[in-house]
Structure 1
Amino acid sequence: MMGVGAVKQDVKSMIITGFAGMVAGACSMAIGEFVSVYSQYDIEVSQLKREHKASADGKESLDEEEKEDLPSPLRAAGASALAFVVGAAVPLLSASFIHNYKARLGVVIAMSTLALIVFGVLGGVLGKAPVKKSCLRVLIGGWLAMAITYGLTKLIGLAGI
C-alpha cells in the first residue's frame, strides 16, 4: 500500500493493491511456513526412527503419541496466513475510510505503527522474551519495509516507468 501510495493518490488503487498484497503475502507466508515446518517434521521423524531402530526392540514405526508431539505443517501454515491477514487488515481497513491522499498515508503509517507495536509486545510476551527489544525489532523492521517500499516505488514513479 505504501508503494502504490507513493505514485497513485486515489483510494481505489491503494485498496485494490492492499487487498492483493494481503492475499499474496498470506499465501506466501503460509507456503513458506508449510515447507519449513514440513522439513523440520521430516527431520524429527527420521531422527525418531533412527532412535527406535537403535533401541533394543528394533521397532521402526512411530506410535500416534510420538507423532502428536511433532510440529504440524498445516497448523503452522494456517497460523502464519492468519497472522499475515490480521496484520495486513489494519492498514487496509484504515485506508478504506479516508479519501484525502496525505491524510490516508498518515493514517496508514500511524495504524501500521500501532499494529507493529502490538505484534512486537505479543511476540515478546508469548515468546517470554524482553518485550521492549521484541517491540523495537518489529517496529523498526516494519518502518524499514514501509520506507523502502515507498522510496523505491517513488523513484520508479519519478523516472516515468
Structure 2
Amino acid sequence: MQAHQPESHRTHRTGWLRAAVLGANDGIVSTASLIVGIAASQATQHDILLAGGAGLIAGAMSMAAGEYVSVSSQADTEKADLARERKELAENHSYELNELTAIYIQRGLDPLLAEQVAVQLMEHDALGAHALEELGISEQGSARPLQAALTSAATFAVGAALPLLVALFSPVPILAVTVSSSSLLFLMLLGIVSAYTGGSSLLKGAVRVTFWGALAMGLTAGAGALFGTVI
C-alpha cells in the first residue's frame, strides 16, 4: 500500500496574498493612471516623473497605514471575542461543552460521537476548539497587522515603480501610450501570478485586474485631457 503524499492547500496564503496582490495592483493602477492623466494634460516629462515619484511614496505609506489600521481593528475584534470566550469557558464549562457538541451534531455527527469529540477537544484545547468552531478564528487565518502593512507597502512600491520606469525611458510624445500599454501587460501578469498562487483560473484572474486597470487609466486620461492642467 502506497503512502499518501501530504495534501497541499492554499488557504494559509490568503492573508499575505491578499495584501500583496492589493498592493501591487494599486501601485500599478494608481501610478500609471496618474502618469497617463498628467501626460494627457501636456505636462513635461520632469513634471510627470515628479508626480509619479510622489505618488509612489504617498501611495506606499497610505497602503501601509490603511492595512495596519484595518487589520488591527480585525485583530482587536478577534482578541475581544477570544477574551469573552475564555471567560465563558471559565464560568460555565458544561454549557460550552453542550454548545460545541451541538455544533458537531449540526454537522452530521451522531450525538454520542459529537459529545465524545467535544469532550476530547476541550480537554486538549478548549479555547482553540471554540475559537475555530464557534468564532471561525484559527492560527492560520488570524489577523497580522504588521505583516499586512509591510506587504502592502512593499508590493505597492514595486508595482508603482514599473510604470514610473517606463515613463522615465519613454519619449514624451508616446509616453501615455507606452505607460498605459505596458501597465496593462504588468496587470495581466499580476493577475496570472496571483491566480496561479491562489489556485484559481488564470484567465479569470488576468481579465479581472486588466479590465479595472484599463478603466481607471482611461478615465484618468480623459480627465487630464479635459482639464489640461499641468501639475
So what's the TM-score if we normalise by structure 2? 0.60
Aligned with residue 213 of structure 2, among 138, 142, 145: 142
Alignment match, 2:61: 27
- Match status 1:93 vs 2:159: no
Alignment match, 1:125: 196
Matches within 5 A, 1:63-82: 69=139, 70-82=142-154
Structure 1 residue runs of 4 or more that deviate by more than 4 Å after TM superposition: none
- Match status 1:45 vs 2:79: yes
Amino acid of the structure 1 residue aligned with 2:66: G
Aligned length: 151
CA contact (8 A) 2:42 2:228 kept: no
Alignment match, 2:112: none
Q: CA deviation at 1:112?
A: 0.5
Alignment match, 2:49: 15
Alignment match, 2:88: 54
Q: CA deviation at 1:110?
A: 2.1
Q: CA RMSD in A?
A: 2.3
Q: CA deviation at 1:102?
A: 2.8
Once the two structures are superposed, residues 122-155 of structure 1 have per-residue CA deviations (whole angstroms, 9 ceiling, x without a partner) of 2212222222112111111111111111111211
Alignment match, 1:107: 178
CA contact (8 A) 1:8 1:14 kept: no
Once the two structures are superposed, residues 72-127 of structure 1 have per-residue CA deviations (whole angstroms, 9 ceiling, x without a partner) of 211101111111111111110111112x2232222211221121011111221222
**In 2, distance between residues paired with 1:140 and 1:118?**
13
Sequence identity percentage: 39
Question: Which SS does the other structure have where 2:199 is aligned?
Answer: coil
**In 2, distance between residues paired with 1:2 and 1:20?**
15
Q: Return 5+ residue gaps in structure 1 as ranges.
A: none
Q: Return 5+ residue gaps in structure 2 as ranges.
A: 1-34, 93-126, 132-137
Amino acid of the structure 1 residue aligned with 2:82: L
Question: Which SS does the other structure have where 1:13 is aligned?
Answer: helix
So what's the TM-score if we normalise by structure 1? 0.84
Q: CA deviation at 1:9?
A: 4.1
Which one scores higher on RCO, CA 8 angstroms, separation ≥ 6? 2
Amino acid of the structure 2 residue aligned with 1:31: A
